[in-house]
Structure 1
Amino acid sequence: MHSSEANMLPHLISVQTLYEHLDHPQILILDVPCRPESYTQGHIPNAIYLDPQALLAGTGDAPQKLPSVEALSRLFSQLGLTRDTHVIACDDEGGGWAGRLLWTLEVIGHTRWSYVNGGTCAWKAAHLPTETQTRQPQISDYQAQILRPELIMTQEELRQRLNDPDLVIWDARSPEEYQGLKVNAARAGHIPGAVNYEWTRAMDQDQALQIRGFAEILCELAPLGIQADKEIVTHCQTHHRSGFTWLVGYLLGFNIRAYDGSWKEWGNHPRLPIECP
């Protein structure tokens, strides 16, 4: 295989496609499991473990936000990322943490990536080989920059645009959280005008958590106003679940951004408007 072939992979690939490219030198497989033991108990060969908490700032009033460029430079250098690397992202939950990783890569302008449809769940369901050894990355010197800040929605901008008819707020939390029946912040409810489509609805529970057919998803999103002719911002509690909804929207060709402050920031702010049926 020619050296450029890895970078010709589409953004969404099957486990079989990954299996055929496992040993390509330009591929970096990053496993971002929700449960660390799922990596140690058996993961995709050559995959490097990435602690999902490393994708969060971890400090300040909104620790769920994007880390600093210095922290991102350290992280991706430790993972062995280079400008020519094609990142393959997977996780054990259908795409939440993998999506957060891929959103982060897009924010820093690294567009060479693929999501393995269904992640390690689909890989194991296909009875493909796994390994239990911890893979060590080859350290690089990666200097991250925020090259696509437009993919980040700030609290200030969102507050100013609450009545913008061209903006759709996609709340990826559960209906119970959206309706204020389950409280994970100082206040319950949702951002005014937001529409609710829980992240797991875009997964096929009978097909190893792979993304459902695009046509089906589009038919369900359209009545909510989530469609290609709108600007969309997605969020959840900490921009973990909405990592997946951002990814789905991106793959559908939407103009989609993410509010990484999410409900943890909005719901804990005493003066921001909320709706609670």
Structure 2
Amino acid sequence: MKHIVSRKWLLARLYESDLVIVDCRFVMGQPDAGRAAYEEAHIPGAVYLDLERDLSAPVEPDGHGGRHPLPDAAELASRLSRIGIGNDSRVVAYDDQGGAMASRLWWLLRYLGHENVFVMDEGYSAWVREGFPVNADQKVLIPSAFLATVQHSMLVEADEVRESLGGDERVLVDSRDAQRYRGEVEPLDKKAGHIPSARNKFWKGTQDEQGRFKDAEALAAHFADLPRDKELVVYCGSGVTATPNVLALSEAGFEKVRLYAGSWSDWISYSENPVAMGEE
């Protein structure tokens, strides 16, 4: 696997000097739960980054940018520097939410030009079940220097998505569960449905019954109906759970993959944008 590491891989490298471990646990609807869990216990040496306070910008009043807008690149680079992430750091992110929050940090670091970043498979609970060490110690933060080189090509904005509707140069991939995609339920956003022409690939389909990411061959089979010669634009509700799909597509060898970071919650903030219901 290119971007996913095992618990044993991390355990063997736990105290290597260039390694920065980041706890990304976060529970939607319980904004303080992730930090509280981190303060109670975490992988030794881990620092904490919060989805909404650190890995997202404040929500705009008009809803543009979605429920988890991308953080300002300069502000995020400064935050990474303060917690000890530099351009020479190896970063391993973990969460307890199936890799969704850790994948958000993985994607953001790559967006800032940092390739040496990985997601720990299975997450914190699996680490604990294995009997691997945890503690509540707060790491002494030694600032580093992180210089961002923003990779704008990784990102798609709403106007690009709108302009490509009806064309064949892009394929939209909706990462939400099938009921939300079809518009049968919508627990979080003001409108139900999906972006017209989008194909549904629920992000949890990238994992097996034990919550482990499937291997490259199985992921390639999972995404077999998606074209490799066209640009894939991946979205979800707010740009978070789309990122494990982006990661899995990369593992499966897809090269033309971009993220619509604002996702569905951004799309419906523009009243003129069309909405589709049911299966495509």
Shift of 1:181: 1.4
The code of the aligned residue for 1:168 comes to: V
Preserved CA contact (<8 Å) 2:45 2:137:
no
Partner Cα distance (2:130, 2:169) in 1: 42
Partner Cα distance (1:171, 1:29) in 2: 30
Shift of 1:214: 2.9
Partner Cα distance (1:10, 1:20) in 2: 18
Aligned to 2:141: 137
Candidates 14, 23, 39, aligned match of 1:31 = 23
Identity of aligned residues (%): 28
* Cα offsets for 1:36-59 (capped at 9, x unmatched): 133233321111111111111114
| 3-state SS, counterpart of residue 232 of structure 2 | strand
Shift of 1:10: 4.7
Partner Cα distance (2:2, 2:177) in 1: 30
Candidates 155, 167, 171, aligned match of 2:170 = 167
Candidates 100, 107, 114, aligned match of 1:103 = 107
Candidates 3, 9, 16, aligned match of 2:8 = 16
Q: Structure 1 length normalisation: TM-score?
A: 0.89
Shift of 1:169: 1.1
* Cα offsets for 1:181-235 (capped at 9, x unmatched): 12233321100110111111212232xx220233233223223x2x433321111
Aligned to 1:232: 232
**Which has the larger displacement, 95-104 or 39-48?**
39-48
Paired residues in the alignment total 264
1:94 paired to 2:98: yes
Candidates 61, 67, 70, aligned match of 2:71 = 67
Partner Cα distance (1:215, 1:187) in 2: 36
Aligned to 1:195: 199
Preserved CA contact (<8 Å) 1:48 1:136:
no
Partner Cα distance (2:247, 2:69) in 1: 17
Aligned to 2:120: 116
Preserved CA contact (<8 Å) 1:30 1:49:
yes
**Which has the larger displacement, 37-46 or 85-94?**
37-46
| 3-state SS, counterpart of residue 55 of structure 1 | coil
Question: Runs in 1 of length 4+ with deviation above 6 angstroms?
Answer: none
Preserved CA contact (<8 Å) 1:122 1:210:
no
Root mean square deviation of aligned Cα:
1.8
Structural mapping, 1:189-268, within 5 Å: 189-206=193-210, 209-223=211-225, 225=226, 227-254=227-254, 255-268=256-269
**Which has the larger displacement, 150-159 or 250-259?**
250-259
Preserved CA contact (<8 Å) 2:170 2:232:
yes
* Cα offsets for 1:45-87 (capped at 9, x unmatched): 1111111111111142325222112311221122211111111
Preserved CA contact (<8 Å) 1:237 1:262:
yes
Partner Cα distance (1:75, 1:199) in 2: 28
Partner Cα distance (1:170, 1:71) in 2: 29
Q: Structure 2 length normalisation: TM-score?
A: 0.88
